[in-house]
Chain A
Amino acid sequence: MEPMIRVENLVKRYAGRGLGRRAAAFTAVDSVSFSILPGSTLALVGESGSGKSSVGLCLACLERLTSGQIWFDGHDVATLAERELRAVRPRLQMVFQDPATSLNPRWTVREIVAEPLLVQGRVANRERGVHAAQVLERVRLGAEYLERRPAELSGGQRQRVAIARALILEPKLLILDEVLSALDCSIQAQIANLLVELQRALGLAYLFITHDLKMAAHLADEIAVMSRGKIVEQGAAEEILRDARHAEMQNLLGATLVEREVIAVVRER
């Protein structure tokens, strides 16, 4: 099967800032390559500072690459100008970690969810509300949420709104940047299940960025482990979890769960 998206030798370097180069330049992502098949999930796992969020931002075309290619829909989206990108963007959407900051607190849920339609300019005002209600339904929120503001919602509900917003343009790939990390444990499971459901129903591909190996194990078909800007382990989920060889993996494993639990989780799937 053709991969939905193929990343080749992605490098992201942040320039030094300030006149005297007070903040040193540093390489966040050091030549990373992977691909994601349609309808499948690749989990990008690593500690904070490993560069995984930068990969996500680059894939979502919110940051410019220093070098490398991102093949999506037959184009190298890394080289597209903003105008051309606009046509591509609906198919590549991102959901952020903290819904408290990714939703404009002054807007209502309807405005937030319908914003992509407004920006893309394809749908008239009245219909936008209808679309918004439909997509809210998908994330299991009723129409009564339309006129509420983010401050009136719980963390889980906000994240659902964020996911709904990402879905309204009918993307093929969702980049989920630590979307569960800001939620309570019980809510995490709910949202994770919702994501699985949506994937099955809509045939979405996911790039699931996380530091939580357990979650990755639950959701992912493939896992790539990042450490200091490089991918140090990559492969099918079961193999990665079983082989747990590299130091970084040991780190993540030690931090999140015991080996036996890993095997149990793997067997569960």
Chain B
Amino acid sequence: MCFLLRRLGHAAFLLLGVSVLAFAFSTLAPGNYFDEMRLNPQISAERLSALRADYQVDRPMAVRYGRWAVALLHGDLGFSFAYNTPVAPLLWTRARNTLLLTGTATALVWMLALPLGVWSAERRGRPADVALSWATAVLLIVPDLALALGLLVLAVRSGWLPTGGMVSVGFDGFSTGKKIRDVALHLVLPVTVLVASALPVLLRHVRAAVAEALEASFLRAAEGHGISRRRSLYRYALPAAAHPLIALFGFSLGTLLSGSLLVEVVMSWPGLGPFLLEAILARDLYVVIGGVLLSTLFLVAGNFAADLLLYWADPRIREEAPER
């Protein structure tokens, strides 16, 4: 219990620290942000002075941070200059789209990596495993930018798959079944890229962890007892290999919001990535901070979830603070 509380405190500390950092970046940046905004024809002079008063640009940073933090706790992430609406709902719709994409990809990657990893760890050093290593190495050396663009070029020239976006024109008029099919088709390309870029690394880790667990002597004892290979593999080896894998899983969860930025931009997927990019280029301050904070929240939450899982799965951690 103490362990969990400590991890929770740690996570809270991280979020606090990140919020300070994010805020500091924006306020310490060279050049007065509002002066740059003056050059933007979309923002009228009255709006500008109203915003200046509102955001108390001339007050000390600590005051501004305090005000912003309090607003944050109320769920108010500030105001988007480009869209003229509060930031939070904007972020939320985009985040949902991103999660659809990355959630699918993450599930797929793990569903592929676990069995493949176990399979190749079993056959370590043998031709099948070596072939798999080579195949994944090929995937590893192609940068995801190249992969994404390459698939896009293929899709464009073959015409089989839609080449961007999340939905086709006229989506609202589709029946539910057709809607699902439409989104699914649009998902194929970006999910493929995400899976292809994440699979090699994950596969390596799974394979290494399982291989190490397979070396353990208690497994040989199990064999000696006549327990079948398959059973010993899944019931004994995998749980022993679980510790590093759970940490990795937490990391996977953590990068749900941030890992797909590039793919989303290239494939025009209407997620958090392109939205943030747009905000950066438009100097939409509070959108950027809000976006960074949201994805950090996921990262921290993902690690905390991993800690939770570890606590539940690994008795050694529960025993960590012995009473002497």
Task: Give chain A's interface residues, CB within 8 Å of chain B.
Answer: 19-20, 22, 24
Contact = CB atoms under 8 A, between A and B. Distances in A.
B157 interface: no
Contacts of A19: 6
B324 A20 contact: no
Contacts of A22: 321
Q: Interface residue tally of chain B, by bracket?
A: under 10
A24 B2 contact: no
6 contacts: A19-B6, A20-B2, A20-B6, A20-B321, A22-B321, A24-B324
A41 B111 CA distance: 69
A19 B6 CA distance: 10
B3 to A, nearest CB: 10
Interface in B1-37: 2, 6
Interface string B310-324: 000000000001001
Interface in B159-203: none
Q: Which 6 A-B pairs have the closest CB atoms?
A: A22-B321, A20-B2, A24-B324, A20-B6, A20-B321, A19-B6
Nearest to A22: B321
Nearest to B320: A22
A229 to B, nearest CB: 18
A109 to B, nearest CB: 39
Contacts of B2: 20
A19 to B, nearest CB: 8
A19 B324 CA distance: 18
A39 to B, nearest CB: 46
A22 B6 CA distance: 13
Nearest to B9: A19
Nearest to B6: A20
Interface in B274-324: 321, 324
A42 B209 CA distance: 52
A20 B2 CA distance: 10
A4 B2 CA distance: 52
